[in-house]
Amino acid sequence: MTQQEIESLWIQNALSVAFRFSDTVRINSGEDFGKTGRIVALFRLDPYPTYVIELMDGSSAVAIEPDLESVEA
């Protein structure tokens, strides 16, 4: 599946993933541990859904679904 196909299906809510565009999340692992931001892209599906997160400071991070938790905006 291409990146474009993944993004299209994700926007249509046709994929079984935990997070959607603009969901606010906290990163619970790695160098960005504890940082929060909003989901801006679904990067890949395997071996785990992998998201691009726009952090509150304007930078971005990439994290897998098991390393994220939802935060109320």
Taking domain 3-70, whether its CATH number is 2.30.30.30 is answered by yes
Mean pLDDT of 4-17: 92
pLDDT at 73: 61
Measure CA of the first residue to CA of the last residue in the chain; give whole Å.
32
pLDDT of residue 72: 81
Mean pLDDT, rounded, of the chain: 94
Please state the pTM of the whole predicted model.
0.91
**Domain locations along the chain:** 3-70
Alpha-carbon span 13 to 32, nearest angstrom = 27
